[in-house]
């Protein structure tokens, strides 16, 4: 059963032109003597990540959700978080300088939980704000989380990318993946990329393989981030398949005797080595 169904039950161009698809396997020798697929992915994204000019973390604990207005300064930008709560619903919005962004009835641009998008009504607090100054672009990235999460809902987050000059915003979501806003530079100019992730499979990693997918988005002149494709029109992607190491034996969960190694499939702007 997917995340949103569970929640309802609980609450009332690679520039060089080398775009060939690649399938590689993390065999036992690689895991013991070299890098695992997870380590290769970590090093790849760390290599191309753009470091933010300023980061502000939300260190306040407000307990229960209640109506309130909170202001945070990000350099010369005023960020106001507005919560309106009653017995029936919680409505959140963000005001960046003089631009108000309502989260009501908004969903993520990407699929984050299998075939499902993230409903931004589910995230009712901010966790971190990042400021990027990239040539003519100034981008504010806000990570949103659920204030009172229970169970699987604790793995839900969303990201708002706001381009200051055009006042454009793009909404992304993540589930059981990295929640921080991260931008990447894959070309020589200052145009940033964003990588959206998708989690598909058993959240406990027992019954089915877990597939973590990555999709590539680039900042366009409109101020929004759009899906990117290679020179022949194929979408950039990375697909990491992680096979269970445990299985059910009756009511018990036991380590599998025969383990299947992870797989990595990719058509990416810069190959993950």
Q: List strand residue ranges (DSSP E) for 106-236, in order.
A: 107-113, 116-119, 125-134, 137-145, 156-163, 168-175, 183-184, 193-200, 210-219, 225-227
Answer whether residue 4 is part of any domain: no
Answer yes or no: is 6 within a domain. Answer: no
Phi and psi, residue 150, nearest 5°: -135, 140
pLDDT at 63: 66
The residue among 232, 188, 192, 200 whose CA lies nearest residue 216 is: 192
The answer to whether residue 124 is domain-embedded is yes
* Distance between CA atoms of residues 149 and 86, nearest Å: 18
161 C-beta neighbours (distance < 10 Å), count: 25
Question: How many independent structural domains does the chain possess?
Answer: 1
Cα dihedral sign, 242-248-254-258: negative
CB neighbours of 201 closer than 8 A, spacing ≥ 6? 208, 209, 210, 211, 242
pLDDT at 209: 92
CB of 242 within 8 A of CB of 209? Answer: yes
Q: pLDDT means per 10 residues in the chain (273 residues)?
A: 41 39 43 80 98 95 79 97 88 96 95 94 92 96 85 83 98 92 93 96 82 97 97 97 84 82 97 96
Residue 170 located in a structural domain: yes
Does any domain span residue 204? yes
Its pTM stands at 0.85
The answer to whether position 143 is within a domain reads yes
């Amino acid at each position: 059963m997917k995340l949103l169904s569970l929640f309802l039950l609980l609450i009332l161009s690679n520039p060089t032109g080398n775009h060939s698809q690649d399938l590689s396997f993390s065999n036992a020798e690689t895991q013991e003597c070299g890098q695992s697929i997870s380590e290769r992915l970590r090093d790849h994204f760390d290599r191309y990540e753009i470091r933010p000019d300023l980061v502000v973390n939300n260190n306040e604990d407000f307990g229960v959700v209640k109506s309130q207005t909170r202001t945070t300064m990000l350099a010369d930008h005023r960020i106001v978080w507005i919560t309106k709560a009653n017995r029936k619903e919680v409505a959140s919005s963000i005001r960046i300088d003089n631009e108000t962004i309502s989260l009501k009835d908004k969903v993520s641009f990407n699929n984050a939980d299998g075939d499902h998008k993230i409903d931004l009504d589910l995230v009712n607090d901010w966790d971190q704000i990042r400021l990027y100054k990239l040539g003519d672009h100034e981008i504010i990235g806000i990570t949103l989380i659920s204030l009172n999460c229970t169970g699987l809902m604790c793995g839900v987050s969303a990201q708002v990318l706001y381009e200051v000059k055009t006042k454009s915003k793009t909404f992304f979501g993540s589930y059981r993946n990295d929640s921080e806003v991260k931008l990447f530079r894959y070309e020589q100019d200052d145009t940033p990329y964003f990588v959206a992730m998708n989690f598909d499979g058993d959240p406990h990693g027992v019954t089915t393989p877990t597939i973590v997918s990555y999709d590539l988005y680039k900042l366009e002149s409109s101020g929004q981030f759009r899906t990117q494709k290679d020179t022949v029109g194929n979408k950039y992607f990375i697909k990491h398949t992680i096979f269970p190491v445990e299985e059910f034996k009756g009511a018990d969960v036991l380590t599998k005797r025969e383990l299947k190694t992870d797989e990595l499939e990719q058509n990416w702007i810069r190959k993950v080595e």
